[in-house]
Structure formats: C-alpha cells, structure tokens
Structure 1
Amino acid sequence: MQQPPPWEIATPSRHSRLPGVAMAGFRARGAAELGVVPFPAVTLAIDLGDEPLTVAGGGWPVRGSAVLGLGAGGLRGGGRDVRCLQVRLSPVVAHAVLEGFAAAGGPLVGWDAVWGREAARWEERLRAAASWEERFALVAAELAARRAEGRRVDPEVAYVWGELVRSHGAARVAGLAAEVGWSRKRLWSRFRAQLGIAPKRAARLVRFDHAAHRLAAGGHPAAVAAEAGYADQSHLHREVAEFARVTPSAVAREPWLSVDEAAWSLPGYLR
C-alpha cells in the first residue's frame, strides 16, 4: 500500500465525541496537495495555518476555511505548512448545524458563506486554543448547541440514511420506504429536501466509498466490484469515474484514503 503523506494527525478523546460527527486535526510541513475523494458526509475544513488553505475544482477556488458538500468530488486541496481542523458531519447532523449551506449553493463554499461573521470569530478562538483537544472540545460544544436548536430530520429519513450506511449502500431503497411506512415518492421528496441528495444516489455514494477504501487497501478491482455488489468490474469503473472522475487504480493511489484509518476510525459516526 502507498505510504501516507507526512501528516501529523490528532484525534479527540472520548469526551469530545458526538453522534454523527467526527473530527481530526491535520498538520503538514512544507507543500501539501491532496485530491478530495467523494465521501458520504458534509466536511467542514477549518483553516488554522499561517498561509491560506486552498480548495479548488469545478469553479472558483475557496481560500481559507471551506464547507464541502455531501459526496463532493473533482476537488483538490493544498497549501504550505497546512494546519487544519476537519469536521465530518453526517447529513442528518449537517441539516441542523449548517442551515445556511444549501442557500450558499454548490458543493464547495467558504465557511463564512454558511456561518457569516461567526465563522471568523470561531477561527480566531480555535487558533488561540492551546491544544488540539481544546479545539475539539470547543467545536463539539458549539455543534451540540447548534444541533439542539437546529432543524430536525424526520426520524424516517434518519433511519433510512442509517440503514444505507450500515449496509454499505446495499439496502434496497424501496424496501426501506416500506419499512418506515412511506410511499416511494414521499421518501424521495423528504430525503432529498432534508439531506440534499436523492436516496438512490446516497446509496450509490455510500457503496462507492466502501469500494474506494477496499481499492486503497489493495483489493483487485474485480474482487472489490463483487464484494461491493456491483454487476461487474466495468460497473465499478463507471461509478468511480462518475463520482471521483478518475479510474479505480487512481483512486487506490489517492494519499488521502491512506490516512483514513488513523483519522476517522470511529465506528458508525456517519449515522
């Protein structure tokens, strides 16, 4: 397997953890550049470095702290002497704590376009914090407060999302609609309105993520395709090309996937 880039990675202790939220601190000395592999979470990248972090692709670049939408792909991020606190939010949590994200438009926007002046105030507080653990605790407290006051996702929508994650995207959406007692049309409408993605595409995104990590772990594309439930290797190739805009072999070499085990090892946080 490809060796990970020289990232220093910090993760929170248990008391700073929240359901549906994962956090990690990253630092790299010198120049660093990474491809953003689509992921089934909304990502908040809080820039804490002396030189601005840049995320670009498919439009105008964002310099500084950014919000990346559910499954955002075709992006590249990087900078020099990067120091960044990354927060991954399940779409159920993101619906409550990032209420302005949908209005901001696009899969990539500046954090200030979502939280306004509060974003700059929070950057200052996090930069002034004495440790990563203090930063994690500050972010956890703010997210918990915003979630308590924010918009609610229907329990049925949250359940369907959780089942898609649990099954690695294999659960049948029509069957899940029947389980929660909704029509297919109602599930499609409520799921898309609240999570920002259609349930079938959400299932495909979750399955792609599972396959991408299996490829990064050294799995042969044909074996990964069979394990992940694709019709064949060509089907896997088409899905990878659509989501990541590269080939399966290129996804397997993406450095960012190699740090996932160290940074995002919490089981079930996406639910």
Structure 2
Amino acid sequence: MRSLAREGGAVARWDVARAARPGRCAGAGLAGFRDLGTGPVAVGLVPRPAVTLVVEFGDGPFSVVDGSGRQHRGSLAAGLVPPGGARLRGEGVTCVEVHLPPPTAFRVLGIRPAELAGGVVPLDALWGRDLARLREQLWAAPSWRERFALTDAVLSDRSGTGPSADPEVARAWHRIVAARGRIRIGELAAEVGWSRGRLWSGFRSQIGLTPKRAAMLVRFRYAAHRLVAGASAAAVAAECGYVDQSPLHHETVAFTGLTPAALAGDPGVTVDDTGWTDPRPGGR
C-alpha cells in the first residue's frame, strides 16, 4: 500500500491503469501511474505483502528518501516492509509499478527478498542494461497496454536468473495469501510437512519475514482494502479476524503511521487502491 499526497496539502490527480490480464510472469501484478497535476509529489512507502518494483520513465526528478534521510534516485525495488518514514519524491511522476509474490521475486531479481531486508534498493543495481532498455521502451510506447507487455516480457525473461524458493516455502506463502492471513502457523507447517522451526527458518531466510509476521501483513492489507472501500473499523475488525478494534488500530498505526480513520480518508491511499483492485495481495 502506498500513500500519495501532493506537497502543500492539495490532492494529486492521477491517471491510473491496471493490466487487464495476467502476464507470463507467475503472480506478477502491474499497474501504471501518471501524475497529471503540477508541483512536487510525496509518496509514503507503506508495507504490502509483495516485493514492489517501480520503473520510472518520466521527465521530472524521482527519488526515495529513507527514514535515515538517505536519498536513492531512480527506479527501485522495495522489500515487504520498507524502512519507516521512507518517502518517494518527484514531479511529473510516470511509472509502471510491479508487485511480485516473494517466491517469484526470488527468481526475477536474482536475490532473495530477505536480502532486501525490507529496504529500498536501486533497480539498476539489479537489472543494469535491462532496466535502461526498458525505460527507453516505456517512454516510446503509445499506451499502457504496450507498456505492460514490455514490462511483462522483461519479468518473464528474467524469471530464471535467480534461485527458486523451496516448494514448501512457496506453498506456505500462497496458503497464507489464500487464507487472507487467518491461519495458524502450526497448521500451516503441518500442511507443508515441515516442523514449525523449519518453516520459521525457511521464511526468515527466503521471504525475509517470519510466517506470523507474513500472516499479519497479509491480513492488514485486506483490512486496509476494506477500510478504503468504506467499511467501518468495527466491521473490518470482525471480518478480518481481529479480536476487536484495538488490534486493528495497533497494526494500522504500526504499518502505516496512520489510524484506521486516517488511512480510510487518505486520498493517495484511495488512488493506490484504484490501481490495485484485487484485495488478494501478493497473489496476483
């Protein structure tokens, strides 16, 4: 989930597009964002249960400032839990955003999602000339449909460059997503035929989160989707399996720095949810 807001408080206007059909890269989701307003934009990188790639090809400056104040320029790869306070800043931002389930990201990026450590890595450090070529092609493409096809081709070509996740880890991840995070870890371990300790270790080394933290993140993403759709905090808490509104409030603040009410009313979060209409994060 991202939070987008125009610097100075005015609402940003966005052209938002979503790939109409699945591509060749398993589970990848693609969306396009173009800022139609004037003036700089600040984008908070809020965690979601997917590795996020942002391929920018606009005219204006584009960078990410992390929680420590370090600035990273250009296209990026962000882990499951970006560093607190990280913000994307730019003007005339135009980009294709890709969400990859961690087992798929493992193969496409050539590194384990755990190696991102929840942080932000320049995408050119991972893709080199492939990224430069893709940005040129995206700039020249006349429509989002062509841009999505070009991006999907690169993802497909690179899907064998990295190692594969253990089948048990991949199966457990997709099971967590299918259950919207509402699954007991002992039950999950039994399903894949591993001990709790082995599943815990496999997730930490290959996904970058423990199974419990991954389940919390998936559940939160669905809860955020429901809040933005207009459901009350009480209804969302009941629907998503929280004991009451207090844990929902705690997780929302922990993941986003916003209360549930503020999250639901954030105009940029609404823009993001428009681009990602499927509420099953990481499973696209």
Residue of structure 2 in register with 1:25 after alignment: 32
Residue of structure 1 in register with 2:14 after alignment: 7
Residue of structure 2 in register with 1:249 after alignment: 261
Cα deviation digits, residues 8-55 of structure 1 (max 9, x gap): 122334364643101111111223333333211111111111012232
Q: Does 1:158 align with 2:170?
A: yes
Counterpart amino acid of residue 162 in structure 1: H
CA distance in 2, matches of 1:41, 1:33: 21
Residue of structure 2 in register with 1:222 after alignment: 234
Counterpart amino acid of residue 34 in structure 2: R
Residue of structure 2 in register with 1:77 after alignment: 88
Residue of structure 1 in register with 2:61 after alignment: 52
Cα deviation digits, residues 105-163 of structure 1 (max 9, x gap): 55112112322343333322322333322221121112112213431112211111111
SS in 1 for 2:246: helix
| Aligned residues: CA RMSD | 2.3
Counterpart amino acid of residue 101 in structure 2: S
Counterpart amino acid of residue 37 in structure 1: V
Q: Does 1:126 align with 2:138?
A: yes
Give the C-alpha shift of residue 93 in structure 1: 0.8
SS in 1 for 2:95: strand
Give the C-alpha shift of residue 102 in structure 1: 5.1
- Give the stretch that moved more between structures: 160-169 or 33-42: 33-42
Counterpart amino acid of residue 146 in structure 1: R
Give the C-alpha shift of residue 56 in structure 1: 2.4
In structure 1, the gaps of 5 or more residues are: none
Counterpart amino acid of residue 146 in structure 2: E
Cα deviation digits, residues 184-236 of structure 1 (max 9, x gap): 11111112211121111000000111111122122222222222111221111
SS in 1 for 2:30: strand
Give the C-alpha shift of residue 269 in structure 1: 6.9
CA distance in 2, matches of 1:253, 1:46: 27
Give the C-alpha shift of residue 255 in structure 1: 2.6
Q: Is the 8 A contact 1:74 1:244 kept in 2?
A: no
Q: Is the 8 A contact 2:25 2:159 kept in 1?
A: no
Distance 1:148 1:114, change over 3 A: closer
CA distance in 2, matches of 1:164, 1:34: 28
Q: Is the 8 A contact 1:71 1:205 kept in 2?
A: no
Q: Is the 8 A contact 1:20 1:269 kept in 2?
A: no
Q: Is the 8 A contact 1:65 1:111 kept in 2?
A: yes
SS in 2 for 1:210: helix
Counterpart amino acid of residue 112 in structure 1: D
Q: How many residues in Structure 1 have an aligned counterpart in Structure 2?
A: 268
Matches within 5 A, 1:160-239: 160-239=172-251
- Percent identical pairs in the alignment equals 49
Q: Is the 8 A contact 1:36 1:77 kept in 2?
A: yes
Counterpart amino acid of residue 219 in structure 1: A
- Give the stretch that moved more between structures: 140-149 or 157-166: 140-149
Q: Does 1:95 align with 2:110?
A: no
SS in 2 for 1:114: helix
Distance 1:19 1:106, change over 3 A: closer
Distance 1:265 1:17, change over 3 A: farther
Give the C-alpha shift of residue 83 in structure 1: 0.8
CA distance in 2, matches of 1:238, 1:266: 24
Counterpart amino acid of residue 86 in structure 1: E
CA distance in 2, matches of 1:112, 1:149: 15
Distance 1:20 1:251, change over 3 A: same
CA distance in 2, matches of 1:104, 1:34: 20
In structure 2, the gaps of 5 or more residues are: 1-10
Counterpart amino acid of residue 9 in structure 1: V
SS in 2 for 1:176: helix
CA distance in 1, matches of 2:48, 2:117: 18
Counterpart amino acid of residue 10 in structure 1: A
Give the C-alpha shift of residue 75 in structure 1: 2.9
The partner residue of 2:49 within 37, 40, 49 is: 40
CA distance in 2, matches of 1:270, 1:197: 14
Distance 1:74 1:207, change over 3 A: farther
